[in-house]
């Protein structure tokens, strides 16, 4: 793989992170409209299991102005093994876009009565009043790329 490919992917995911700040209509991998409800899913697993989380790149957004001071734009690669879990977490302070690059993974979202299956090629938008956890119910590893904006208060947070 050339050096340019990861940078091009990072740039594309960066654009997706900015796009997540705007309303996006329902699409594949979203909660069905008739299944949306506040508090629909109770908190799930609280510890990661069978998942690696590698930070690929970080950009300090502080030079962009006082409002961005201490914020980091991050790119991560998560590999979730069959049966693996990304634990319960929320996104009120940390918007993210998750590209499912390989395999599939099931999301258990606070605002959805049914699990949401995400497959390779989809992007999950994580923003606002959202809490959830993920589990790989498949038979192969799920490879996810996450582009998020990490606020200063979360720099030492090890949640995914």
Could you say which DSSP state residue 36 is in? B
Q: The domain containing residue 135 runs over which residues?
A: 4-154
Residue 160 lies in a domain: no
Return the pLDDT at 24.
38
Selection from 3-7, 9-13, 124-128 with the highest mean pLDDT: 124-128
Tokens of 39: 């508090």
Q: Give the total number of structural domains in the chain.
A: 1
The better pLDDT of the pair 18, 144 is held by 144
* CATH number of the CATH domain containing 98: 2.60.120.10
- pLDDT digit string, tens, across residues 45-81: 889 999 999 999 999 999 999 999 999 999 999 999 9
């Amino acid at each position: 793989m050339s050096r340019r490919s990861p940078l091009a992917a990072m740039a594309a995911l960066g654009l997706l992170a900015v796009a997540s700040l705007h309303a996006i209509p329902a699409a594949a991998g979203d909660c069905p409209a008739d299944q949306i409800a506040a508090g629909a899913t109770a908190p799930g697993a609280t510890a990661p299991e069978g998942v690696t989380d590698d930070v690929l790149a970080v950009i300090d957004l502080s030079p962009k102005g006082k409002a961005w001071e201490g914020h980091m734009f991050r790119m991560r690669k998560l590999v979730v093994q069959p049966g693996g879990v990304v634990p319960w977490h929320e996104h009120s302070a940390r918007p993210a876009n998750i590209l499912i690059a390989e395999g599939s993974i099931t999301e258990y979202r606070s605002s959805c009565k049914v699990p949401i299956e995400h497959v390779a090629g989809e992007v999950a938008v994580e923003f606002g009043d959202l809490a959830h956890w993920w589990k790989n119910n498949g038979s192969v590893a799920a490879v996810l790329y996450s582009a998020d904006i990490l606020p200063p208060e979360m720099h030492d947070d090890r949640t995914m």
